[in-house]
Amino acid sequence: MTRDLVLILDYGSQYTQLIARRIREARVYCEIHPCWDGVPAHLEGRIKGIVLSGGPNSVYAEGAPTLDPKVLELDVPVLGICYGMQLLVHAMGGEVEPAAEREFGRAEITTTHPGILFDGFGTDAPEIVWMSHGDRVKRLPDGFQPIAHSSNSPYAAIGHVSRPIVAVQFHPEVHHTPNGQQLLERFLFDVCDATADWTMGSFVDEEIASIRQTVGDDHVILGLSGGVDSTVVAALLDKAIGAQCTCIFVDNGLMRWREAEEVTHFFEDYLQDAHFVHVDASEAFLSALAGVDDPEKKRKIIGRVFIEVFDAEAAKVEGAAWLGQGTLYPDVIESVSPKGGPSTTIKSHHNVGGLPDHMKLKLLEPLRELFKDEVREVGRELGIPEDRIGRHPFPGPGLAVRVLGEVTAERCATLRLADRIFLDEIRAAGLYDDIWQAFAVLLPVNTVGVMGDERTYENACALRAVTSVDGMTADWFHMPYEVLARCSNRIINEVRGINRVTYDISSKPPGTIEWE
C-alpha cells in the first residue's frame, strides 16, 4: 500500500522526533528526512503536508541550513516550527534578527487572528507555550499576517493570507505546550486534510504481505535476543513465512536472572512454524572479556564474538538469503546524520549500517518505520503476552555494560542477583509498568562497611530507574523511600559481595540511561 504522509524536514532540533511522535499519535503517518536532502523526489506524490523543524542555527548565519524551493513549489500545506518559522520568513522576503531578550521555557502568547490553528483557543486569556529561541521575526514577508504574539516576540505565530502556510515560534510538540497536540491536529486535519489511517492493525496486515512479497521462497535468519523488538520481529516472520524463518538465540552469559531459560521456553511454545535454535556461547564471551575493563573495548569484543557465533550457526541454515533485524525508526534517524549535518549522531547502532562483508545476506527490517511504543502495539496485535511486550529494554551487550570494570562470571552473578531483587521489589510495589527501565549496576568501587562485628570491604551497587517514552530523553523515577529501603536492605543482606547501595537521580540529558 502506498500511504500518504506528512514530511518532516529535520533542521537539527532536539525535538524533531517528538514532532513525529505527536503526528503519529494522531494516527497520521509521517517520515523524518534530513533538511539537506530537501523534498525527496520519490515522495512528492504522497505528501499531504510538510513540517519544518526547529534547529540550533540562525537563518542569517553563514552556512545555515536553507529552504528547499520545492517546499513552496509543491503547493502543499507547510508548518514551520521555531527555526522553521524563521526559515520561511527569511526565504520569502521577511527579516529575522537577534532577539534583545532570548526566550527559553514557559511563555504566554496572546492570539490576535486565531485562524484555523487557534480557532477556539480564545483571545481573552493568554495561551501557555514552550519557547526555545534566540532570534525573532522583525518583519513579515508580503502576504503574511500575525496570528499571535508574546511579550518578547511580536510574531509568535503567523499565517499566509491566501496559501496554506502557517508557522509558530514556539514548540507545540512538547508537553509543556498544553494545547500543542490540538494545534498540530488542526494543521493535520483542517489544513492538510490528512487521513487518520496509521494504525498498528493496518501495519501488521501490510507488513505481513510485504514480507511475503519481498522474501518469496527464500529463507530468513533472525538474531533473537528475547527483547521486545526481536520478539515482535519473530512473531511477524512466524506469521508471514513460517518455516522459512530460523530464529537463532545466542546466550552470551550476560543476561538477567534466568533470562536464557525464560526466552527459550517462551519461544519453543509460542512460535508456530518458525524454527528456534538456542546456542549457549557464554564461555566464549566471558573468556574473550577476561581482563578487559574499557567500555568501548568490551562492546567491540561482544560484537565480534556474537558475529563469530551467529555466523557459524547461520551457516548451517540452507537457503538463507535474508537477515532479519529489529531496527527501529530512532535507530535509523540517529544513524543518518553525517558529520557536519544538523543533527548530531548520539551513538552508533549495531542494527544500522549494514553487515560484515563476508555475510552475503540481505537485510530485512520490518520495524524500521516504528517507534518503541508502536512496536509494543504491534506485539499486542499479534497476540504476544503482555509480560513479554511490557518488558523493560535491555542493552545488546547485556550485563557487560552494567558490570563496570572487568566482566567475570562471578561479578555477573553478583549483579544478576542484586538486579533480580530490585525488579522483584518494584513489581511487588506495583511500579514496574510506571518505569521505562530499571536495573542495578555493579561499581568497581569497594567501600567500608560493618556486618555484625566485622569490618567489610566490598562492592558498591547503584540502582537506576527512569521514566521515558522512547529512551531518547529520560527522567529519574521518584522511587518511594520505603521501596528503596527494602531494596537496599535485601541486597546488602542477600547478595554476598555488596555492602553499599546508592540510587542514581541523573536525567538524560545530560547523563545517559546506561552507565557505560
Could you give the count of Cα atoms lying within 13 Å of 228 in the half-sphere of its Cβ?
Answer: 25
Please answer whether residues 11 and 55 qualify as being in contact, where contact means their C-beta atoms are separated by less than 8 angstroms.
yes
> In this structure, what C-alpha cell is assigned to residue 427?
513489581
What digits encode the pLDDT tens for the residues 376-394? 999 999 999 998 998 898 8
Which are the contacts of 252, defined by CB distance < 8 A and separation ≥ 6?
281, 282, 285, 302, 305, 306, 398
Measured CA to CA, the distance from residue 227 to residue 436 in angstroms comes to: 14
C-alpha distances (whole Å) from 315 to each of 52, 152, 237, 268, 358 are: 47, 65, 20, 22, 12
Element at 392 (helix H, strand E): none
C-alpha distances (whole Å) from 86 to each of 49, 98, 170 are: 18, 11, 11
C-alpha distances (whole Å) from 392 to each of 86, 171, 432, 474 are: 40, 29, 9, 14
pLDDT of residue 355: 52
Compute mean pLDDT per 10 residues along the chain, 516 residues long, and list them: 87 88 93 90 92 91 90 93 94 84 76 76 72 82 91 88 93 88 94 93 93 95 91 96 95 93 93 94 95 91 92 89 89 55 40 56 91 92 92 90 94 96 97 96 81 69 90 87 97 93 91 87
Helix, strand, or coil (residue 120): coil
> In this structure, what C-alpha cell is assigned to residue 98?
537577534
> In this structure, what C-alpha cell is assigned to residue 516?
557505560
Measured CA to CA, the distance from residue 390 to residue 409 in angstroms comes to: 28
Please answer whether residues 332 and 311 qualify as being in contact, where contact means their C-beta atoms are separated by less than 8 angstroms.
no
pLDDT of residue 347: 40
Measured CA to CA, the distance from residue 263 to residue 258 in angstroms comes to: 9
pLDDT of residue 93: 92
pLDDT of residue 22: 93
Measured CA to CA, the distance from residue 349 to residue 346 in angstroms comes to: 10
Measured CA to CA, the distance from residue 276 to residue 259 in angstroms comes to: 16
pLDDT of residue 454: 63
Measured CA to CA, the distance from residue 66 to residue 70 in angstroms comes to: 12
Q: What are phi and psi of 30, to 5 degrees?
A: -145, 160
DSSP of 188-245: IIIIS-------HHHHHHHHHHHHHHHHTT-EEEEE--SSHHHHHHHHHHHHHHGGGE
Q: What are phi and psi of 251, to 5 degrees?
A: -85, 110
pLDDT of residue 458: 84
Please provide the distance, in angstroms rounded to a whole number, between the alpha carbons at the two ends of the chain: 42
Residue type, 314: A
Which position has the grid cell 553525517? Answer: 338
Measured CA to CA, the distance from residue 53 to residue 193 in angstroms comes to: 20
State the catalytic residues: 82, 171, 173
Task: Kindly calculate the radius of gyration of the chain based on its CA atoms and give it in whole angstroms.
Answer: 26
Which are the contacts of 355, defined by CB distance < 8 A and separation ≥ 6?
323, 361, 363
Helix, strand, or coil (residue 496): coil
Measured CA to CA, the distance from residue 84 to residue 204 in angstroms comes to: 34
C-alpha distances (whole Å) from 152 to each of 59, 241, 313, 359 are: 19, 59, 63, 58
Nearest residue to 105 (alpha-carbon basis) of 131, 136, 134, 135: 131
pLDDT of residue 13: 87
What is the signed CA dihedral for 12, 15, 16, 20, rounded to 10 degrees?
Answer: 180
Residue type, 193: D
